[in-house]
């Protein structure tokens, strides 16, 4: 298994989920619903950032850091 590519795919998926929650937040009229989508968007953003950090760390550990 190529774990770096796996993490790349997961980063892409997290960012896509974040974008979908942002769209839902933008379209929602109710402030309570907006707040739910905002929280979910922020969680996906956290996940993407965390995965990017882990990707960079793993890349260094595997000696593929350029």
Q: Is the pTM of this model over 0.85?
A: yes
**Which CATH number goes with the domain that contains 36?**
1.20.5
Q: Is the pLDDT of residue 66 over 80?
A: no
* Domain-located, residue 66: no
How far apart CA 60 and CA 66 sit, in angstroms, is: 9
Cα distance between residue 54 and residue 31, in whole Å: 34
Query: What is the domain extent for residue 17?
Result: 3-61
The pLDDT score that the predictor gives to residue 1 is 80
What is the total count of domains within the chain?
A: 1
The answer to whether residue 43 sits within a structural domain is yes
Q: Terminus-to-terminus CA distance in the chain, angstroms? A: 21
Q: Which long-range contacts (CB under 8 A, 24 or more apart) does 27-32 make?
A: none
The pLDDT, as a whole number, for residue 63 is 83
- What's the rounded Cα separation, in Å, for the pair 9 and 24? 23
């Amino acid at each position: 298994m190529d774990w770096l590519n796996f993490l790349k795919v997961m980063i892409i998926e997290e960012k896509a989920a974040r974008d979908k929650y942002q769209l839902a937040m933008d379209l929602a009229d109710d402030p309570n619903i907006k707040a739910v989508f905002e929280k979910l968007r922020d969680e996906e953003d956290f996940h993407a950032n965390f995965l990017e950090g882990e990707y960079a760390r793993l890349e260094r550990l595997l000696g593929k850091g350029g």
